[in-house]
Amino acid sequence: MQMETKYLYIFLLLVNVSVLQSNAAVPQVPALIVFGDSITDPGNNNGLQFSWAKCNFPPYGRDFKDQRATGRFSNGKIPPDFLASQLGIKEYLPAYLDPELSDEDLLTGVSFASGGAGFDDISAKLASAYTLWDQLQMFKEYKIKIEKVAGIERASKIVSDSVYLIFLGNNDIMTTYFSTNIRSNYDIPSYVNYLVQAASSFNKNLYDLGARNIAVLGVPPLGCVPAVRTLRGGITRECVDIYNEATLLFNTELSAEMTRLAPELPGSKIIYMDVYSILLDLIMNSSHYGFDEVTRGCCGTGEIEATLLCNEISPCTCEDASKYLFWDAFHPTEKGYELLITPLVKKYLPIFG
């Protein structure tokens, strides 16, 4: 009898532990919703016939599940995947335009991001990609879809309780401003102001559609991206100061505007996330993080190749991407992304708790 009681006690203890573990895995937020560019695009551009800003072909996705090139601009996972996983929502955040998207995928979040997009619509048009306002229109469609799946009341709660991630500005500064003459009528401060006001307007529109928990990421040190080093960094391929100075100005103004905007939108939590200092630390202290190379990408020579130029016949592609901070000449590796996102989650996401 005592032996049976002992086994019953052990059984009940194991059941309680299992329940606690199950409860611990319940996400704090119902869904993750993402707007952005190639850094956060899981494949929305795949169906765009004339866009160069897509990568649904090898060697992209080489280290992803089943070695699939899903359209993620990396060798594996990208920031929304790591964020969704660390929030306890799901392992991968799918593209809204994924033809295999399920109802459950809709309820737990998607990414509307499009490679080439920016706060400036011209950026997306240069890449024949979806503009930020196209992405907002997709979100409106998304709301209708989840109402049909979950009902109006639950859908409304999903929209209001979800975390929204916005990561843009890279293409505006690096491509539209510095690589073309389209915005030559602006100096750097005035163009930064134009972008920040566009970001503010977008946040207001998103709020009007029900979003309350909004995280806006700053831009990393674009002057240290491999392609910029190659094209503008001289023979020694140094980081390009003017790019980094423009980036820092944009980040400063964006942060200030998000701080100013939050009180205008009752019930909202709008935070600015600093990625500049984290990525710069990965570059400056590369050996501490296990990187052998931070000035070139893994794909091809790593100096200029990206999207269509990074392909199966690209010579010299590295064997171990975990030794590289960058996968191609613009985008980090899966390891680089994970090291970028993990400290952001720890520092900022408890604010939405």
332 has a pLDDT exceeding 60: yes
7 has a pLDDT exceeding 60: no
Kindly state the average pLDDT of the residues 106-118: 98
Q: How many domains does the chain have?
A: 1
> Is 227 part of any domain?
no
> Is 304 part of any domain?
no
Give dist(CA 339, CA 195) in Å, integer: 27
> Is 313 part of any domain?
no
- The closest alpha carbon to 165, from 40, 2, 320, belongs to 40
> Is 14 part of any domain?
no
Give the per-residue pLDDT at 350: 86
Q: Residue 185 is encoded by which pair of tokens? A: 């009528």
- Is residue 230 within 8 A of residue 237, CB to CB? The reply is yes
Burial group, residue 55, by CB count within 10 angstroms (0-12, 13-18, 19+): buried
How sure is the predictor about 353, in pLDDT bands with cuts at 50, 70 and 90? low
352 has a pLDDT exceeding 90: no
How sure is the predictor about 60, in pLDDT bands with cuts at 50, 70 and 90? very high
Catalytic residues: 38, 328, 331
Q: Residue 144 is encoded by which pair of tokens? A: 């209708």
Q: Indicate the residue type of 284.
A: M
pLDDT per residue as tens digits for the range 148-166? 999 999 999 999 999 999 9
Angle (nearest 5°) at CA 150 between 146 and 155:
60
Domain with 63 in it: what CATH number? 3.40.50.1110
Q: Which domain holds residue 80?
A: 30-219+246-276+331-352
Tell me what the pLDDT averaged over the chain comes to: 92
Kindly state the average pLDDT of the residues 319-328: 98
pLDDT per residue as tens digits for the range 251-261? 999 999 999 99
Give dist(CA 306, CA 311) in Å, integer: 8
Give the per-residue pLDDT at 160: 97
Kindly state the average pLDDT of the residues 14-35: 58
> Is 34 part of any domain?
yes
Kindly state the average pLDDT of the residues 126-132: 97
> Is 317 part of any domain?
no
How sure is the predictor about 25, in pLDDT bands with cuts at 50, 70 and 90? very low
Give the per-residue pLDDT at 42: 98
Question: pTM score, two decimals?
Answer: 0.91
